[in-house]
Amino acid sequence: MARYADPGALEWVESGGGPLIAVPETVLPFWAGADSEELDTDYDRACEVDGYVGLLPVGDSAALVFGDEPASTSYLPDHGTFVRWSAANSEDELLAKIPAALDAAVWAHEIRWNVPGPVVLFDSAWPGGAAEGEEHLRVPLEPGPYAVRAAYARPGPETWVGLVQLRRLAD
């Protein structure tokens, strides 16, 4: 994983240029990425997602696609938020601005995501079976429904961050 600070508080996932995706572990083998003989690959479907986030069917579940720009992304469990690094001088600077970013965010509409358990964040071009090693991030979500909302915030003159917040809903 790319680390932007020494020693680095978070593990960051990057893409080769396309969208990142969070796929439930239970359906990882069903995500083919760009490796498919179909005319429209799973990666192509991920690239067609409009806006900051969207859902795509995968097996008997759904994956969360991180649209817009292929920013380095990590997860802050204390805030239930994926953080997308658009601009900051350091990881420390970015993390220090997260509370202000969350307060100032103008959130897009919410979507509902039913999660069967932990998810894996990785480059959507890769097949799910290859989402191992250093270029992925396992996020231990509890099974159930979540409200997902996204925003971009500029909490400082040189700090821009994308936010994708998950809020657990009652079953």
Structure confidence at residue 134 (pLDDT)? 63
Mean pLDDT of 109-132: 91
Residue 3 above 50 pLDDT? no
Structure confidence at residue 94 (pLDDT)? 94
| Domain layout of the chain by residue ranges | 20-168
Structure confidence at residue 63 (pLDDT)? 98
State pTM to two decimals.
Answer: 0.91
Structure confidence at residue 84 (pLDDT)? 95
The torsion angle over the Cα atoms of residues 28, 33, 35 and 38, rounded to 10 degrees, is: 100
Name the percent of the chain lying above pLDDT 90: 75
43-61 pLDDT, tens digit per residue, is: 999 999 988 999 999 999 9
Of the pLDDT bands very low, low, confident and very high (cuts 50, 70, 90), residue 5 is: very low
Contacts 24+ apart (CB under 8 A), 93-99: 93/156, 93/158, 93/159, 94/159, 94/161, 95/9, 95/10, 97/155, 97/156, 97/159, 97/161, 98/155, 98/161
16-40 pLDDT, tens digit per residue, is: 888 999 999 999 999 999 987 767 8
Mean pLDDT of 90-102: 94
What's the chain's average pLDDT?
A: 90
Higher per-residue pLDDT: 50 or 64: 64
Write the CA distances from 51 to 65, 108, 122, integer angstroms. 10, 9, 18
Of the pLDDT bands very low, low, confident and very high (cuts 50, 70, 90), residue 72 is: very high
